[in-house]
A and B are shown apart, each in its own frame.
Chain A
Amino acid sequence: MSVWIAIVTVLLLAVVVLLISAPLRTGWKTGPDTDRRAELEAAREGKYREIRDAELDFRTGKLSREDHQTIDAELRAEALEILDRLQANDASMGESEASAPNVEASPPQTDTD
């Protein structure tokens, strides 16, 4: 029994050391820095959600047509501004890095999650 326990302990220690030291041993590299992009994407998704929420508020009778049109126009202008910033960010990151993600020009149709 004690032999088995010793073997398991040593094995566990070996696995832990190998797991933790792997990035240091193999010269681990990160991908492109996408934090700025992620931040802008979060802002874009938030804005899309706002547009869809306003649409749903209008359709369920919580917003008048005039109010909806005003709010929708404001939100779309803000969304375009974010999209411009996203494209500028992609351009500054270089073509190879920017080609992977996909900038959507308009909000998906109905999902608000």
Chain B
Amino acid sequence: MAVLGRSCLLLGLVVCAYGIGASLYGARTTQPQWVESARRSVYALALILTVAIAVLEIAFLRNDFVFNTVADTSSRTTPTFYRAAAVWASQEGSLLLWAWLLSLWSSLVLFLTRRRLREVVPYAIAILLGFGSFFISLMVFYANPFQTTTPAPAEGVGLDPLLRFPTMMIHPPMLYSGYTLCMIPLAFGIGALIARRVDAEWIRVIRRFSLAAWLFLGIGILLGARWSYSELGWGGYWGWDPVENASLMPWLTGTAFLHSLMIQEKRGMLKVWNVSLVLATGTLAIMGTFLVRSGILSSIHAFGGATLGVPFVCLIGALIGGSIYLVVSRREMLRSEHRLDSLFSRESFFMANNLVLVALCFVIFWGTYFPLISEALTGQEASVGPPWFDRYTVPLALVLVLLSGIGPVIAWRRATFANARRNFVVPIGAALVTLTALLAVGITQKPLAITMFCCAAFALASVGQEFFRGVRARRAMTHDAPPIALLALVRRNRRRYGGYVVHMGMAVLFIGVAASSSFRHQTELGLSPGQSAKVGPYTIRYVRPTAHVVNDPAHTGSTLNLGAVLNVTKGSRHVATLHPSQGYYDSSDPTQGSVGHLIGGQAVSHISMSAGVTRDIWSAIEPDISAPPLQKIINAANKTIPLVRPDEGLLALAYMAGAYLRHPPPAQFNFIDSPLVMWIWIGGLIVLAGGLIVLWPAPSTVRGRVRALARVGLARRLARA
């Protein structure tokens, strides 16, 4: 099997090299058969890498520990679902996933453009295959997923327990899809610049791919935040970790591009800006990939001990240098075809929104990369924490939410102040009502959060008003019932109203972020059964301890799970019963003893929360298994039970669990009462729905395809007749 995998990688590398040569030769000599052959080499690469990833997947499912990757990131005790997804938990497997997804998206875009952009496509093929060959080379020369060890170890190390969480298994493919989709606009942007075809056509081709990249990155970021909140024991969803930031940066520049491309499509303006955003987004996606694999970070998201820094730095340097050269050398043909009709127009507000988004990206870039560069130069560890990021990003986020409410009510080309005054009455009224209501209920601290609520109310009212007026205009023409008119309005204007839905979702999401970060109560303390803690308006009582051996309630494959039953009350009213626990995993390290190693791996917190639309009550436990009575049992078992009898080791653990239940030592608890967190996930889902509305093919496109297919069918019938 490993031979087949290795053959696939070598064959993939050869196909990439051939495809690059064929496409460039075809472009130089204007011989289309060579370009077509190069295009087919992308399809072939997708086929080859599909076989390669299938080989690795089979190896994981069959517990084939001959493969080093399988032995390092899986084990027989790892549940099947997590074993199937463990392919991308390692450096090697995730590189293969990256290359595979890139080959699939490249095949799709090249299939869709097989009769279009003939001058641009050869260069785009060369760039895409260049990326493909880069990642395959990394696998062949640095991190081969098909490397083997003979004889195979009897058991694997197992998947990192922190990754044994359903959303964490979907999160990497989403993020990688986003990153790899960013390569499509990048390749076509470079192709358009090389071929000197910088009109609106290439923008039209890549628009959907840019949108898909934005959507997948967004889903990936949201799933990562959800994982952090629901799995990691700190109760937060965003920690300004460099790897989190790395995925946010291309999303921000991608968002800017999705707005400014409309100005190029409509007015032939901002060509330099748009192509620069496309190149920056692609480069930031590569930099995000680099950050995880360079070995310069010790993040929970990074692959420890990675050594791929130098090849990535070379690639990033080439991308930045090449991009600057191409944009500067083509600046004459990138001149705008029109000028702004008025500063008071939707175009102007789109530009303002672009500046804010790029400023946000710059702040995050500075806060993420500057400490790393400084550390590399001075040798002293440096980092900036959440307060530094919050100082700059919060004001920019406020302006962004405000602009997301202003944009929809301003006309394209030129707006008049009289119309604008009329259109702003409702949104400003909503913001003022929100402010009055907040002050009336006594919320007077946290001015930034209050400002965010008012800005979000402004944006929501602005978008709501747009839907209302759109439906009214539609009904005036068709006399449909309001729901039918609404559906027809959205269906026929997907980009506009899908975009409004996204604005609505972002406003909702920021309400959740502002409320949960400004008004949360957190208590960390030790409790024994029967004792209580006060968290905001709630009383949380530690009722009794729980213990499970092997039979892990979260199905993550832990050997021992110790937890607690908590009773949450507000006054005399019962609110919820919580069951936080901590899982202990096998370390496979015999030096820890025959029983000690069974629980000597990473201890992972399984949080428990009562989630609601108004607030989440979140809890995590850290039991004290180092208490002398428990340690005494483990030490005695280590001495008497041989390593080859894990069944007896489990019996000893069951005895220890019983002792824990009879005489539980005080456990450390972390309680958080956090308002409106649910609205972050709801807002994210609304954004996702809006993105899908925009992405869905327009009815006219579908009709066009049906007409084209009918024409083809008719032609075939006539040919047969």
Residues of B near A21 (CB, < 8 A) are 37
Determine whether A113 belongs to the interface, using a CB cutoff of 8 Å to chain B. Answer: yes
Contact A39 to B199, CB < 8 A, known contacts A56-B473, A62-B419? yes
Cα A50 to Cα B597 in complex, Å, equals 68
Q: Is the CB of A24 within 8 A of B34?
A: yes
Q: Is the CB of A53 within 8 A of B119?
A: no
Of the residues A35, A54, A111, contact of B698 by C-beta under 8 Å: A111
Q: B415-431: which have CB < 8 Å to A?
A: 415-416, 418-419, 422-423
Q: A55-111: which have CB < 8 Å to B?
A: 56-57, 59-64, 67, 71, 108, 110-111
Contact A62 to B48, CB < 8 A, known contacts A24-B34, A56-B493? no
Cα A43 to Cα B34 in complex, Å, equals 30
In the complex, what's the smallest C-beta–C-beta distance from A76 to chain B, in angstroms? 14
Determine whether B720 belongs to the interface, using a CB cutoff of 8 Å to chain A. Answer: no
In the complex, what's the smallest C-beta–C-beta distance from B460 to chain A, in angstroms? 17
Cα A24 to Cα B419 in complex, Å, equals 62
Contact A63 to B419, CB < 8 A, known contacts A34-B115, A49-B265? yes
Q: Is the CB of B473 within 8 A of A50?
A: no
Residues of B near A110 (CB, < 8 A) are 492-493
**Chain A residue at minimal CB-CB distance from B14:** A16
Q: Is the CB of B15 within 8 A of A20?
A: yes
In the complex, what's the smallest C-beta–C-beta distance from B686 to chain A, in angstroms? 20
Q: B1-43: which have CB < 8 Å to A?
A: 1, 3-4, 7-8, 11, 15, 18-19, 32-34, 36-37, 40-41, 43
Q: Is the CB of A23 within 8 A of B37?
A: yes
In the complex, what's the smallest C-beta–C-beta distance from A20 to chain B, in angstroms? 5
Cα A8 to Cα B3 in complex, Å, equals 11
Residues of B near A28 (CB, < 8 A) are 32-33, 36-37
- From B250-258, B404-412, B433-441, B664-672, give the one contacting chain A: B404-412
Cα A103 to Cα B409 in complex, Å, equals 33
Determine whether B266 belongs to the interface, using a CB cutoff of 8 Å to chain A. Answer: yes
Q: Is the CB of A50 within 8 A of B266?
A: yes
Determine whether B700 belongs to the interface, using a CB cutoff of 8 Å to chain A. Answer: yes
In the complex, what's the smallest C-beta–C-beta distance from B428 to chain A, in angstroms? 16
Cα A45 to Cα B36 in complex, Å, equals 28
Determine whether B160 belongs to the interface, using a CB cutoff of 8 Å to chain A. Answer: no
Determine whether B469 belongs to the interface, using a CB cutoff of 8 Å to chain A. Answer: yes
Residues of A near B591 (CB, < 8 A) are none
Cα A8 to Cα B7 in complex, Å, equals 11
**A interface, size bucket:** 35 or more
Of the residues A8, A27, A61, A112, contact of B469 by C-beta under 8 Å: A61
Q: Is the CB of A35 within 8 A of B4?
A: no
Query: Contact string, B42-64, partner A, CB cutoff 8 A, digits 1/0?
Result: 01100110010000000000000
Cα A5 to Cα B3 in complex, Å, equals 8
Residues of B near A108 (CB, < 8 A) are 700
Cα A12 to Cα B413 in complex, Å, equals 56
Cα A2 to Cα B3 in complex, Å, equals 9
Determine whether B579 belongs to the interface, using a CB cutoff of 8 Å to chain A. Answer: no
Q: Is the CB of B415 within 8 A of A53?
A: no
**Chain A residue at minimal CB-CB distance from B37:** A23
Q: Is the CB of B266 within 8 A of A49?
A: yes
Residues of A near B51 (CB, < 8 A) are 8, 12
In the complex, what's the smallest C-beta–C-beta distance from B51 to chain A, in angstroms? 6
Cα A111 to Cα B492 in complex, Å, equals 4
Q: B463-501: which have CB < 8 Å to A?
A: 466, 469-470, 473, 476, 492-496
In the complex, what's the smallest C-beta–C-beta distance from B268 to chain A, in angstroms? 8
In the complex, what's the smallest C-beta–C-beta distance from B410 to chain A, in angstroms? 7
**Chain A residue at minimal CB-CB distance from B203:** A42
Contact A61 to B419, CB < 8 A, known contacts A50-B412, A71-B414? yes
Cα A76 to Cα B601 in complex, Å, equals 71
Of the residues B41, B494, B496, contact of A56 by C-beta under 8 Å: B496
Q: Is the CB of B47 within 8 A of A16?
A: yes
Q: Is the CB of A62 within 8 A of B409?
A: yes
Cα A28 to Cα B410 in complex, Å, equals 51
Determine whether B116 belongs to the interface, using a CB cutoff of 8 Å to chain A. Answer: yes
Q: Is the CB of B48 within 8 A of A16?
A: yes
In the complex, what's the smallest C-beta–C-beta distance from A7 to chain B, in angstroms? 10
Cα A44 to Cα B200 in complex, Å, equals 11
Residues of A near B496 (CB, < 8 A) are 53, 56, 112
**Chain B residue at minimal CB-CB distance from A28:** B33
In the complex, what's the smallest C-beta–C-beta distance from B463 to chain A, in angstroms? 12
Q: Is the CB of B412 within 8 A of A42?
A: no
Residues of A near B410 (CB, < 8 A) are 62
**Chain B residue at minimal CB-CB distance from A26:** B33
Q: B107-147: which have CB < 8 Å to A?
A: 115-119
Cα A107 to Cα B424 in complex, Å, equals 31
Cα A20 to Cα B473 in complex, Å, equals 54
**Chain B residue at minimal CB-CB distance from A4:** B4
Q: Is the CB of B201 within 8 A of A42?
A: yes
Q: Is the CB of A111 within 8 A of B412?
A: no
Cα A15 to Cα B47 in complex, Å, equals 9
In the complex, what's the smallest C-beta–C-beta distance from A97 to chain B, in angstroms? 12
**Most chain A beta-carbon neighbours within 10 Å: one of B4, B19, B51, B418:** B4
Q: Is the CB of B266 within 8 A of A20?
A: no
Residues of A near B409 (CB, < 8 A) are 62
In the complex, what's the smallest C-beta–C-beta distance from B19 to chain A, in angstroms? 8
Of the residues A19, A42, A64, contact of B200 by C-beta under 8 Å: A42
Q: Is the CB of B493 within 8 A of A111?
A: yes
In the complex, what's the smallest C-beta–C-beta distance from B273 to chain A, in angstroms? 17
**Chain B residue at minimal CB-CB distance from A33:** B118
Q: Is the CB of A60 within 8 A of B117?
A: no
**Most chain B beta-carbon neighbours within 10 Å: one of A19, A20, A112:** A20
Q: Is the CB of A38 within 8 A of B201?
A: yes
Q: Is the CB of A113 within 8 A of B412?
A: no
Determine whether B204 belongs to the interface, using a CB cutoff of 8 Å to chain A. Answer: yes
Of the residues B3, B414, B495, B697, contact of A112 by C-beta under 8 Å: B495
Q: Is the CB of B201 within 8 A of A112?
A: no
Cα A49 to Cα B119 in complex, Å, equals 26
Q: Is the CB of A39 within 8 A of B473?
A: no
Residues of A near B1 (CB, < 8 A) are 1, 5
Of the residues A39, A46, A57, A111, contact of B265 by C-beta under 8 Å: A46
In the complex, what's the smallest C-beta–C-beta distance from B340 to chain A, in angstroms? 14
Contact A13 to B11, CB < 8 A, known contacts A5-B3, A62-B411? yes
Given contacts A8-B51, A12-B7, A60-B470, 9 further A-B pairs with CB under 8 A are A5-B3, A8-B4, A19-B44, A22-B37, A28-B33, A35-B119, A38-B201, A59-B470, A113-B701
Please give me the 4 A-B residue pairs with the lowest Cβ-Cβ distance, nearest first: A113-B698, A59-B473, A23-B36, A62-B411
Chain B residues with a Cβ under 8 A of chain A: 1, 3-4, 7-8, 11, 15, 18-19, 32-34, 36-37, 40-41, 43-44, 47-48, 51, 115-119, 197, 199-201, 204, 265-266, 409-416, 418-419, 422-423, 466, 469-470, 473, 476, 492-496, 697-701
Chain A residues with a Cβ under 8 A of chain B: 1-2, 5, 8-9, 12-13, 15-16, 19-24, 27-31, 33-35, 38-39, 42-43, 45-46, 49-50, 53-54, 56-57, 59-64, 67, 71, 108, 110-113
14 A-B pairs within 8 Å (CB atoms) are namely A12-B48, A16-B11, A16-B44, A20-B41, A21-B37, A49-B265, A50-B412, A60-B470, A67-B414, A67-B416, A111-B699, A111-B700, A112-B493, A113-B698
